[in-house]
């Protein structure tokens, strides 16, 4: 391992955030159909597995709010909007995959799909949206800082952004990893916090989640852990208890006893 790459695995720097445009375009091409190719494009077999997680860490804080225009970053079929769809007049989903582009509504709310620009510049007006969601999408993107600044720009003053991201390396992304796309890597927690602050967001709520043991046990007994309220709450409790053990690149068994994602409710 060269010295430069060691700074990425240590969590000191975010791999991809300082890429050239050529490097970004190569990354974009690799990731465009990545999530869809993992099984999401097979709509009949696709099952969204984070409803209770989203509700506990985010939607319960905004359930009474109303939104004229909402933007979903990498939201696939838009399943994440289920808890608040009736509170939204129009949903726009920014997603590179062709697999989801024929969806015209999400739980009764009109839905439009737009393909992203590899540069990370989003084709929307300043202050256009009342709500932006990015639930597990940013870690598929190289230039996270720039895309987060674009989310801030197109969000209306007083608008809300919901953000959930892995804060672990997800292994060594120079190698093939079963069940993961070619380029995805987590975002170190302190770097993610700094990006949020530097962009200008106010943090209304922050929590840790996805304690690895919870989904492992749930999967063995055929339960979707994060569609189950009890397991989701247990996950939040264990994630908070073991927050002290959180490390970016986890290679030892004891290091895996820690939360692997962070969840934010942000405000412009």
User: Which pLDDT score, from 0 to 100, does residue 1 have?
Assistant: 40
pLDDT of residue 136: 95
> What pLDDT does residue 96 have?
82
pLDDT confidence tier of residue 98, bands split at 50, 70 and 90: confident
Domain boundaries defined on the chain: 3-50+66-207
Which tens digits make up the pLDDT trace of 100-123?
Answer: 777 788 889 999 999 989 899 999
Q: For residues 236-255, give the mean pLDDT.
A: 95
pTM of the model as a whole: 0.93
Q: Band of the pLDDT at 229, cuts 50, 70, 90? A: very high
Residue pointed to by tokens 């510049």: 121
| Residue 4: pLDDT band with limits 50, 70, 90 | confident
Per-residue pLDDT band for 57 (boundaries 50, 70, 90) equals very high
Largest CA distance in the chain: 52
3-12, 134-143, 163-172: range with lowest mean pLDDT:
3-12
Contacts of 230 (CB under 8 A, 6+ apart): none
Q: Which pLDDT score, from 0 to 100, does residue 204 have?
A: 98
List the CATH code of the domain at 3-50+66-207: 3.40.50.150
pLDDT above 90 covers a percentage of the chain that reads: 75
* Mean pLDDT within 210-229: 94
Q: In what order do the strands lie in the sheet with 109-114?
A: 105-106, 109-114, 88-94, 67-73, 129-135, 155-166, 261-267, 202-209
Q: Identify the weakest region by mean pLDDT among 32-41, 78-87, 115-124.
A: 32-41
| Whether pLDDT at 231 is above 80 | yes
**What average pLDDT is seen over the chain?**
91
Contact 118, 25 (CB under 8 A): yes
For residue range 144-190, what is the model confidence (pLDDT) as tens digits?
Answer: 999 999 999 999 999 999 999 999 999 888 888 888 888 899 999 99
DSSP β-ladder status, 202-209 and 129-135: unpaired
Q: How many CA atoms lie within 13 A of 228 on its CB side?
A: 15
């Amino acid at each position: 391992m060269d010295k430069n790459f060691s700074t990425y695995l240590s969590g000191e720097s975010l791999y991809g955030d300082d890429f050239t445009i050529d490097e970004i375009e190569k990354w974009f091409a690799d990731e465009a159909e990545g999530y869809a190719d993992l099984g999401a494009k097979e709509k009949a077999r696709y099952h969204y597995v984070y409803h209770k997680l989203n509700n506990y860490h985010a939607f319960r804080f905004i359930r009474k709010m109303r939104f004229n225009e909402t933007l979903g970053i990498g939201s696939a079929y838009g399943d994440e909007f289920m808890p608040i769809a009736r509170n939204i007049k129009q949903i726009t989903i920014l997603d590179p995959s062709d697999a989801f582009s024929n969806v015209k509504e999400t739980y009764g709310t009109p839905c439009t799909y737009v393909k992203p620009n590899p540069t990370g510049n989003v084709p929307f007006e300043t202050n256009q949206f009342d709500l932006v969601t990015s639930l597990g999408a940013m870690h598929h993107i190289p230039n996270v800082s720039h895309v987060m600044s674009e989310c801030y720009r197109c969000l209306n003053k007083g608008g809300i952004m919901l953000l959930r991201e892995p804060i672990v390396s997800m292994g060594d992304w120079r190698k093939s990893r079963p069940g993961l796309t070619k380029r995805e890597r987590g975002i170190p927690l302190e770097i993610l916090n700094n990006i949020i602050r530097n962009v200008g967001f106010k943090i209304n709520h922050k929590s840790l989640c996805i304690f690895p043991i919870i989904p492992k046990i749930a999967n063995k007994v055929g339960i979707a852990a994060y569609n189950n309220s009890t397991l989701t709450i247990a996950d939040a409790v264990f994630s908070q208890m073991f927050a002290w053990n959180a490390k970016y690149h986890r290679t030892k068994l004891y290091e895996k006893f820690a939360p692997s994602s962070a969840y934010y409710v942000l405000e412009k």
